[in-house]
A and B are shown apart, each in its own frame.
Chain A
Amino acid sequence: MSTLDISPAKPLPPPRPPSRLRRILDSDIFWSWTQSPVAVGATVVALTLILVALFAPLIAPYDPFNPATLTLMDGFTPPASKSAFSDNWFLMGADHQARDVLSTIMYGSRVSLFVGVMATLFAIVLGMGLGLAAGYSGGMVDAVIMRIADIQLSFPAILIALLIFGVAKGILPANQQESLAIWVLILAIGLANWAQFARTVRGATMVEREKDYVAAARIMGVHPVLILFRHILPNVLGPVLVIGTIGLALAIIEEATLSFLGVGVPPTQPSLGTLIRIGQQFMFSGEWWILFFPAVTLVLLALSVNLLGDWLRDALNPKLR
Chain B
Amino acid sequence: MTAPLLDVRNLSRDFDVSRPWLNRKLEGLEKVYLKAVQDVSFSVNRGETFALVGESGSGKSTIARLIVGLLTPSAGEIFFDGQSLAQGLSGAEARRLRRRFQMIFQDPLASLNPRWRVTDIIAEPLRVFEGGMPAPARRQRVGELLTLVGMAPEDGVKFPHQFSGGQRQRIAIARALAANPDFIVCDEPTSALDVSVQAQILNLMKKLQQEFGLTYVFISHNLQVVRHMANQIGVLYLGRLVEVGTPARLFEAPRHPYTRMLLDAVPDIEMTGRRRKKVEGEIPSPLSPPSGCPFHPRCPLANDRGRREMPLLLDGVACHAVEEGRTRP
Contact = CB atoms under 8 A, between A and B. Distances in A.
Interface of A: 1-4, 6, 8, 10-18, 211-213, 215-222, 231, 234-235
Nearest to B70: A215
A18 to B, nearest CB: 7
A17 B117 contact: yes
B307 interface: no
Contacts of A222: 124, 128
Interface string B111-126: 1111111110000110
A17 B102 CA distance: 28
B154 to A, nearest CB: 6
A318 B114 CA distance: 15
21 contacts: A2-B213, A2-B214, A4-B180, A6-B144, A12-B143, A12-B153, A13-B139, A14-B118, A14-B155, A15-B156, A16-B157, A212-B105, A213-B112, A215-B111, A219-B102, A220-B99, A220-B125, A220-B179, A221-B89, A221-B128, A235-B113
Given A4-B212, A8-B140, A213-B110, A220 B124 contact: yes
Interface string B13-50: 00000000000000000000000000000000000000
A225 B147 CA distance: 32
B212 A3 contact: yes
Contacts of B70: 215, 218-219
A221 B95 contact: yes
B110 A211 contact: yes
B98 to A, nearest CB: 5
B44 to A, nearest CB: 14
B177 interface: yes
Contact of A2 (B69, B106, B212): B212
B136 interface: yes
A18 B143 CA distance: 18
A276 B124 CA distance: 55
Contacts of B146: 11, 14
A196 B72 CA distance: 35
Contact of B143 (A13, A213, A234): A13
The 7 closest A-B pairs by CB, nearest first: A14-B156, A212-B111, A234-B115, A13-B139, A2-B182, A212-B105, A1-B213
A117 B303 CA distance: 75
A219 B69 CA distance: 7
B55 interface: no
Contacts of A8: 140, 144
Contacts of A215: 65, 70, 103, 105, 111
B262 to A, nearest CB: 27
Nearest to B107: A212
B179 to A, nearest CB: 8
Contact of B105 (A3, A6, A17, A216): A216
B104 to A, nearest CB: 9
B89 A219 contact: yes
Contact of A235 (B115, B117, B129): B115
Contacts of A10: 147
Contacts of A212: 105-107, 110-111
B250 to A, nearest CB: 28
Nearest to A213: B113
Contact of B177 (A4, A17, A211): A4
Nearest to B211: A4
A216 B212 contact: no
Contacts of A216: 103, 105, 111, 175
Q: Which among A11, A15, A218 has the highest number of chain B CB atoms within 10 Å?
A: A11
Contacts of A3: 180, 212
A191 to B, nearest CB: 30
Contacts of A12: 143, 153-154
Contacts of B139: 13-14
B144 A11 contact: yes
Contacts of B212: 1-4
A217 B69 CA distance: 12
Given A6-B148, A8-B144, A216-B175, A14 B107 contact: no
Q: Which among B102, B105, B114, B144 has the highest number of chain A CB atoms within 10 Å?
A: B144
B51 to A, nearest CB: 20
B68 interface: yes
A213 B111 contact: yes
Contacts of B124: 217, 220, 222
A15 B110 contact: no
A238 to B, nearest CB: 10
Contacts of B68: 219
B230 interface: no
A223 to B, nearest CB: 9
B140 A13 contact: yes
A8 B140 CA distance: 9
A15 B157 contact: yes
B244 interface: no
